[in-house]
Amino acid sequence: MALVAHCILNQNAKVAGLARFPAAVPGVAALLERYRFGLVQMPCPEMETAGLRRWWQVSDQYRCAGFRRSYDRLADLLLDSVEDYLSHGFTVVLVGIDGSPSCGVDITDRDAKGIWLGCPSLDLVGMPILGSGWAE
């Protein structure tokens, strides 16, 4: 089973203007399926706590009691599923997305030099950051 960051399977959950694709990140689901992984879309704590009309934030800003309670509740629900899959012999992997305050693998807030990485104009992977409109 692959636990996949919500915004990989639904770019529309990202902060307005930060989606790089109009739907899912292309190829992720097909790649996981090719290797026989089922998909579990992890809940998005930022959507849960701040909704779609939020601005960019980093993990430091979510380190407070109110956010922590919400994150703990979501994590507990996911943990129940993970434990069940593991107890039945499934391999469980995590597919996160750097730059996400909760699903980042290596980058969630600042780099080794202390530079805050929450700025929406920061391009972490060399791809242009798209605006809110999509053209074909």
Q: Mind listing the pLDDT tens digit for each residue in 56-113?
A: 777 777 777 888 888 899 889 899 999 999 999 999 999 988 777 777 777 666 666 6
pTM (predicted TM-score): 0.72
Residue 123 has pLDDT above 80, yes or no: no
Q: 94 to each of 3, 57, 60, 81, 103, how far by Cα in Å?
A: 5, 22, 22, 13, 9
DSSP 8-state code for residue 18: -
What pLDDT shows up at residue 6?
A: 93
φ, ψ of residue 84 in degrees (nearest 5)? -65, -45
For residues 48 and 74, is the Cβ–Cβ distance under 8 A? yes
